[in-house]
Amino acid sequence: MKKIVSTTEAPAAVGPYSQAVRVGQMVFTAGQIPLNPQTGQIVSDDIAEQTRQVLNNLSAVLDAENLTVDHIVKTTVFMTDLGEFQTMNEVYASYFGDQPPARSTVQVSALPRGARVEIDCIAISDQTPAGKQLSVDVGE
């Protein structure tokens, strides 16, 4: 069963999509751009501030399902200028520590509302939606 995830702590969807969808233990987020959830405006033109806001927005969506960035297993980063990759990467690294998720980064010609960065993610919970803990044996 799929569950639509929605929170007022992140920007509302600006089209016919959900902020995130949960299927079992997996949460798939829509791409987040650097919108301030209260004002609906891009936070600034600075790539570091935009990246920080995007990651805060993703965190808020995950929080609606009692998840954190530690649950993220994969991200996709969309940037309008890979020349800003190093700055984006420094902010990004500060959110994930020494066990970052897998990641793809691509340059695109444009993003909604003139954003310079957009990030989506896939997160996995160790809890079922009903609250039962899962254990996975991956062997050695």
| Token pair listed for 5 | 């995830």
pLDDT by residue, tens only, the chain of 140 residues: 899 999 999 999 878 999 999 999 999 999 999 999 999 999 999 999 999 999 999 999 999 999 999 999 999 999 999 999 999 999 999 999 899 999 999 999 999 999 999 999 999 998 755 544 444 444 44
SS3 assignment, position 51: helix
Rounded to two decimals, the pTM is 0.89
- We report the CATH number of the domain holding residue 26 as 3.30.1330.40
The set of residues, in sequence order, having a beta carbon less than 8 Å from that of 69 and lying 6+ positions away, is: 55, 58, 59, 62, 95, 96
Q: Does residue 33 sit within a domain?
A: yes
Question: How many whole angstroms from its chain centre is CA 22?
Answer: 14
Question: Tell me, what's the pLDDT at 82?
Answer: 98
- Residue (of 105, 101, 37) closest to 74 by Cα position: 101
Per-residue confidence (pLDDT) for residue 132, from 0 to 100: 47
Give the number of domains in the chain: 1
In a domain, 32, yes or no: yes
Domain assignment of residue 140, yes or no? no
**Would you say residue 137 lies in a domain?**
no
Q: Residue 38: inside a domain, yes or no?
A: yes
Q: Which domain holds residue 42?
A: 2-124
Residue 56 burial (10 A CB sphere; 0-12, 13-18, 19+): middle
Tell me, yes or no, whether 130 lies in a domain. no
